[in-house]
Every structure is written in structure tokens, then in C-alpha cells.
């Protein structure tokens, strides 16, 4: 429907040919127009952009946790003596 409106047809004309009301069609067209600039530039819509930012933050946090755990494991490995007991 959005592509039909972009091609020049009006949402008021489309209900005669299809089921949705003109208001329903406008409800699809407006977000598509709002995200149109983002889609042309980056290929993602606003909700997709928000989800991507959320996933990037989570990924950054998980990488930090992994690095901390790797350092802790290396530290504990150095602290152990060859026979398996602590060197304290």
C-alpha cells in the first residue's frame, strides 16, 4: 500500500480496490514517510535503529565482562602452584 501511495495514488482511492480504510493506509504511510530518510541513508527504520543501539550497548557490556573474567582467570592461574595448592 505504501508503494502505491508513493507511486501517486491517494489513500482515499485505495479502499475502493482493497480492504483497508483510508485511515489504515495513512497509518502505514506516515511512519514509512518518517523513516524514509533513514531507510535511504542507512537502510533502517527508527525502531530498528533503537534496537541496534540497545544491542550494541549490551554487546559492549558483555565484551567488558569477558575481558574482566579472562584477566581474573589468568591471575588465579598464576597464583596456583604446580601441585595444585595456593602459594599463600
In angstroms, rounded to a whole number, what is the distance separating the alpha carbons of residues 14 and 2?
11
Instruction: Tell me, yes or no, if the pTM score tops 0.75.
Output: no
Instruction: Find the range with the poorest average confidence among 33-37, 43-47, 56-60, 81-85.
Output: 81-85
- Model confidence band, residue 38 (pLDDT cutoffs 50, 70, 90): very low
The domains of the chain are located at: 1-43, 45-88
How high is the mean pLDDT of the chain? 79
One-character DSSP codes across 30-62: HHHHHHHHHHHHTS--HHHHHHHHHHHHHHHHH
pLDDT of residue 6: 78
pLDDT of residue 10: 79
How many other CB atoms sit within 10 Å of the CB of residue 25?
22
- Model confidence band, residue 61 (pLDDT cutoffs 50, 70, 90): very high
In angstroms, rounded to a whole number, what is the distance separating the alpha carbons of residues 33 and 45?
10
Amino acid at each position: 500500500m505504501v508503494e502505491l501511495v508513493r507511486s501517486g495514488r491517494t489513500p482515499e482511492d485505495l479502499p475502493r480496490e482493497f480492504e483497508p480504510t483510508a485511515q489504515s493506509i495513512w497509518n502505514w504511510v506516515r511512519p514509512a514517510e518518517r523513516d524514509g530518510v533513514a531507510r535511504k541513508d542507512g537502510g533502517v527504520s527508527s525502531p530498528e535503529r533503537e534496537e541496534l543501539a540497545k544491542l550494541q550497548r549490551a554487546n559492549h557490556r558483555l565484551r567488558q565482562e569477558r575481558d574482566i573474567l579472562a584477566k581474573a582467570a589468568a591471575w588465579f592461574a598464576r597464583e596456583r602452584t604446580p601441585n595444585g595448592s595456593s602459594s599463600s
